[in-house]
Amino acid sequence: MSASKPRTLFDKIWDAHVVERLPDGTCILYIDRHLLHEVTSPQAFEGLRAAGRKLRRPDLHIAVADHNIPTVGSRVPEDIKEEDSRIQVQTLEKNVVEFGVPYIPILDKRQGIVHIIGPELGLSLPGTTLVCGDSHTSTHGALGSLAFGIGTSEVEHVMATQTLLQAPQKNMRIDVTGTLGLGCTAKDVVLAIIGKITTAGGNGHVIEYTGDTITNLDMAGRMTVSNMTIEAGARAGLIAPDQRTFDYVKGRDFAPKGEAWDKALAYWKTLPTDPGAHYDTNVFMTSAEIAPMVTWGTTPGQVIPVTGVVPDPMLIEDEGKRSQHLRMLEYMGLTPGQHMTDVKVDVIFIGSCTNGRIEDIRAAAHVAKGRKVADGVQALVVPGSGLVKAQAEADGLDRILLEAGFEWRDPCCSMCLGMNPDKITAGQRCASTSNRNFEGRQGIGGRTHLVSPAMAAAAAVTGRFADVRQFG
Amino acid sequence: MEPFTKLTGIAAPLPMQNIDTDKIIPARFLKTIKRSGLGVHLFDPLRFNKDGSEKPEFVLNQEPYRKAEIIVAFENFGCGSSREHAPWALLDFGIRCIIAPDFADIFFNNSFKNGILPVRLPREVCDQLVEDAKMGGNARITVDLERQVVVRPNGEEIHFEIDAFRKHLLLNGLDDIGQTLQHGTAIDTYEAQQKQDRSWMPTTTAA
Ligand code: SF4
């Protein structure tokens, strides 16, 4: 196809997976990988059962329970106290047996948050299509996989047909250049991006992140950026695979080996966007626009540098927007003009599929070392998988954190969403490394501020939001 | 899936932007293994106080909107999670159509798959429809999918765009899986070809 017109990374993956183009342009798209978890799959299995259907290719699916698993105490399903949580987990365990789906058991050390373990186990690969009934599936785009979240009906569709019906998406490039300033991380990059393009900015698009700021990120950082793509409204966020990607993938459990590896590598090297390829939308940013960030509102786009002040709604002309903004401030218990560094925190959550990797825990431990969690503050560190936990313990990070007064938990989604025992209560304020600060996300009436792991640790030891640049 | 052809009903005005999936159905209600029964939790944070009592000021707690079948809202409806519990909760409450200037992508897709019609109309039109909806039981709105029009209470017809394939599925109440399975041979051919072109592709049973 060398004579054809230049294509983007997204175009190439898309074209290679079109089974059939329907007259109206909708495509039947082949799906190489399907990851399942306990929350969005039961109704899909129920649907298959009712229609007498089977999985077309069970050997391309893999399941893990993550959202409902407690982070302290017994982890076996029978011991989960909340009845409906227990039923969801047990239902998954029954369904994988009945339908022959590969499954990573809860007590397996490889268990963890689905978007952490996909890359970690080499299940997420460049040039593949990967889906999961979970919007943060965009994470896997960091490896150059066209990965996106789907609803339960689509989960059932993939199970039965190994395909999805998809309308073509537009190409958006977000190009970030320049060296990141002191204390700035991938989380700050992606928060700044969402702040710039807004939470609807990516609707209808697949984003490709380019520029040296992005390519200089380690794989964990790239995953943090791709992970939050959905918060900018785009379902998938790609980063072109390069040597760093290949080095990361090589040797992982499910990655191709031997001759297959060589073939895969040769193919993956053809994937990056051709020079001159067309993007429907281009966004350019520089690292000068990025500082250690913190959100102040109830959408991830409402973000300011930690040195900033809470914006004044009275400056907004549109009446509807102004009243929404006012309501938000009331919910968040903030006043216009207030310095973020004067805002006190009650709870710290370090974890989730956004920032639950070993690099994130290391960054938090670096700030925590030799310091103490402030009085009255509860600080949780929840590794994203059993392997992350084991690595952190081998590196002694757990001891640093425990000595500083952090709690060291077992892997799960934990306080990222109010679905398991880890919740914040009404009015509590949480500095969280997760991805959503919607009202009630971490528990009814809870107030969430999104930050990087280092910023969360800095808040933990200060008792207020703090500028991580002052913590050498 | 129930077909969607033409609906005349009460429309509830919800003039807000960014109504996210945690507002439509908070995470704590996702712990179900069934599709039905979620309507009682629809819009829980907006609809109920912490003690479970109704917030009288919320539109769906008022007559005649308790029987609303249409919602008129503002930009970016359904943003957030991929949870299909959002359309299930809407459907279980009795909502069959949502009109807004735009929708979050995943929610938009999920709606069609559950027989809910999301209609995109410009903000000015949504502003008018919100005013219409505020007139309550005296002002029913009609959504005619066949003709692709929304009919205001004053009889004015507003055309909307919809993808032809989705329209076909919705009008006939067809499920996507049945449709796709008709292309089974194409999928077989693709898989055979892929085995050659990308023979390196491992399975999930390999490790
Ligand atoms: S960590 Fe949070 S965002 Fe990620 S999969 Fe779990 S609940 Fe979803």
The pLDDT, as a whole number, for residue B207 is 63
Which residues does chain A have within 8 Å of residue B204's beta carbon, measured at their own beta carbons? 33, 59-62, 102, 123, 254
Query: CB-based burial of residue A192 (10 Å sphere; 0-12 exposed, 13-18 middle, 19+ buried)?
Result: buried
CB contact at 8 A, A424 and A125: no
Min CA distance, B170 vs chain A (Å)? 14
Q: What is the three-class DSSP state of A231?
A: helix
| CATH, domain range A9-169+243-267 | 3.30.499.10
Report CA(A136)–ligand 1 centroid distance (Å). 7
Report CA(A353)–ligand 1 centroid distance (Å). 6
The pLDDT, as a whole number, for residue A84 is 86
In chain A, where the domains are located: 9-169+243-267, 170-237+274-289, 300-470
Ligand 1 touching residue A352 (CB < 6 A): yes
The pLDDT, as a whole number, for residue A283 is 98
Which residue ranges in chain A fall short of pLDDT 70? 1-3, 472
The pLDDT, as a whole number, for residue B23 is 94
Residue B104 is nearest to which of A165, A233, A418, comparing CB atoms? A233
Interface of A with B in 190-219 (CB under 8 A): 199-200, 203-204
Exposure b/e, A437-459, CB count within 10 A at least 16 = b: bbbbbbbbebbbbbbbbbbbbbb
pLDDT tens for chain B, 207 residues long, are: 788 999 999 999 999 999 999 999 998 888 888 888 899 999 999 999 989 999 999 999 999 999 999 999 999 999 988 788 999 999 999 999 999 999 998 899 899 988 999 999 999 999 999 999 999 888 899 999 999 999 999 999 999 999 988 999 899 888 889 889 989 999 999 999 999 999 999 999 976
Residue B82 is nearest to which of A61, A68, A151, comparing CB atoms? A151
Dihedral sign from CA coordinates of A284, A287, A288, A292: positive
- CA A418 to chain centroid: 16
Residue B186 is nearest to which of A19, A68, A152, comparing CB atoms? A19
Secondary element (H or E) of residue A17: helix A9-17
Nearest CA to ligand 1 atom 6: A413
Cis peptide leading into B64, omega within 30 of 0? Answer: yes
Q: Taking CB atoms and an 8 Å limit, are A33 and B204 in contact across chains?
A: yes
- CA B190 to chain centroid: 32
Could you give all domains of chain B from N- to C-terminal order, each with its CATH number? 6-197 (3.20.19.10)
Secondary element (H or E) of residue A401: helix A397-403
| CATH, domain range A300-470 | 3.30.499.10
Q: Which of B81, B156, B168 is nearest to B117 (CA)?
A: B168
Indicate the pTM of the whole model: 0.89
Q: Does domain A170-237+274-289 have CATH number 3.40.1060.10?
A: yes
- Pick the residue from chain A with its C-alpha nearest to B113: A153
Is the fold of A9-169+243-267 the same as that of A300-470?
Answer: yes
Report CA(A66)–ligand 1 centroid distance (Å). 8
